[in-house]
Homo-oligomer: A and B are copies of this chain.
Amino acid sequence: MKHVKYGECVKCGRTYPAVPDLTTCECGGILDIVYDYAYIKTRLTKEILAARQERSMWRYRELLPVEEAAEPSPLRVGWSPLYEEPRLAEQLGLKRLWVKDDGQNPTASLKDRASAMAVAKAREAGAEVIACSSTGNAASSLAGNAAAAGLSTYIFVPSRAPKGKVAQLMTFGATVISVQGSYEETFELSKQAIDRWGWYNRNAAINPYLSEGKKTVSLEIMEQLNWQVPDYIAISVGDGCTIAGLWKGLKDLYAIGFIEKLPRLISAQAEGCCPLNRAVETGEEWRPMEENTLADSIAVGVPRNADKALAAIRESNGLTVSVSDGEIMAAQKLLGRTCGVFGEPAGVTGMAGVKKLCQRGVIGKNDTVVSVVTGNGLKDVANAIEACGEPITIPSDMDRLLAAFAENHISVD
């Protein structure tokens, strides 16, 4: 890969050749993939990009750690829609607001971006089995993307994972181990198993290529905004890999001169599990927390990619905001009703954070904001139904309908 220099430890700075099965540094630190931006600038211009027909994450191949001739992953991942939402902007008191609906991906979450990369790199490594631990979305996305490529998967999820994600896993033919314990315990068992059997590792905090897949979300946002940088980009944060990837994409674009400034990140976590936000707010080291939130995808008490995530939030002069489960479910309804976008609880936590920051007056009428929805609400319908209530249920009878409308104070005349 002419455009990739090496993997560099974010802790000790040691570098490693960018082999396909690269994992972590000897010191335990996470690696970051370092590019030769001068070379990339000779290969990629805005005009070249604009003329490209490919509408998927592989559109940005020059900025991805794969060989130029590498086959894209079989499923169509990325190029999710970015919707401008003037009505919601007005309601919240923002200058402009966009929603990036990354639930529009093959297995219905942003994690497809990382899993597609994992499949591409596993193929380069000649691996036939990929494994990961996950709160659910990384799991189902890996299972789907690997199945499409003819690879086997071993997947470890905490037993709290919602039914929708488990149904995906089973249908995609993964061998699924549901671990009765926290995400931390799930991760540990997967690590032991991967070490023991030598499977290709799709844990995003271990395999440095996965953040590179995730970063395509910000490459897309910026191209969809015609390279006009918003003031803020908001996203939910669990393990830390996604916000780290988002930031990496922005820095890439800045390095090759496609954007002239960097936005500030908004790190949204659940109040019941916000170790990274707490660390930023107190200026101390992060410490583990309980996993007390219904937003299962970001219920990560021991974030595996704290270093990169904290660096991203701090470097961007970012904001942190932690929201209650009630605020999360209110944001789910708000996005559904106003924008027609149905996000899972963790998926809408970024929007819950934006709303809270608006209410507090931290951001407002001079600000432009992009909020990323990271997963589809269909993955966890139990919580949505609980939040929204049940429909009017009657026999097929007009009198009963009229009575039900009256009872529910619905005025149709």
Contacts and interface: CB of A to CB of B under 8 A. Distances in A.
A381 B379 CA distance: 9
Nearest to A76: B81
Contacts of A339: 147-148
B376 A180 contact: no
Given A159-B393, A181-B396, A394-B180, A167 B384 contact: yes
A147 B391 contact: no
B394 A147 contact: no
B395 A180 contact: yes
B169 A332 contact: no
A385 interface: yes
Interface stretch (A34-42, A101-109, A252-260, A283-291): A101-109
Interface string A364-396: 000000000000111101101101111111111
Given A171-B336, A181-B396, A337-B147, A163 B385 contact: yes
Interface string A135-149: 000000001111111
A354 to B, nearest CB: 18
A106 B104 contact: yes
Interface residues of A, number: 83
A104 B108 CA distance: 8
A349 to B, nearest CB: 15
Contact of A342 (B171, B185, B186, B192): B171
B167 A401 contact: no
Given A336-B173, A385-B163, A144 B397 contact: no
A388 B75 contact: no
A391 B169 contact: yes
Contacts of A150: 87
A227 interface: no
A189 B401 contact: yes
Report how many copies the assembly holds. Answer: 2
A178 interface: yes
B168 A377 contact: yes
B170 A384 contact: yes
Nearest to A404: B177
Contacts of A391: 157, 166, 169-170, 176-178
A178 B197 CA distance: 51
Given A173-B337, A338-B147, A189 B396 contact: yes
A401 B392 CA distance: 46
A85 B15 CA distance: 40
A179 B396 contact: yes
Interface string A180-207: 1100011011001100110000000000
A45 interface: no
A76 B281 CA distance: 38
A164 interface: yes
A350 to B, nearest CB: 17
B106 A164 contact: no
Contact of A378 (B145, B167, B172): B167
A197 to B, nearest CB: 5
A330 to B, nearest CB: 11
A145 B24 CA distance: 45
A319 to B, nearest CB: 27
Interface of A: 55, 74-76, 79, 81, 83, 87, 101, 104, 106-108, 143-150, 154, 157, 159, 163-164, 166-173, 175-181, 185-186, 188-189, 192-193, 196-197, 332-333, 336-342, 376-379, 381-382, 384-385, 387-398, 401, 404, 410, 412-413
Which 8 A-B pairs have CB atoms at the shortest separation, nearest pair first? A148-B340, A170-B388, A176-B391, A171-B336, A173-B337, A185-B396, A378-B378, A167-B381
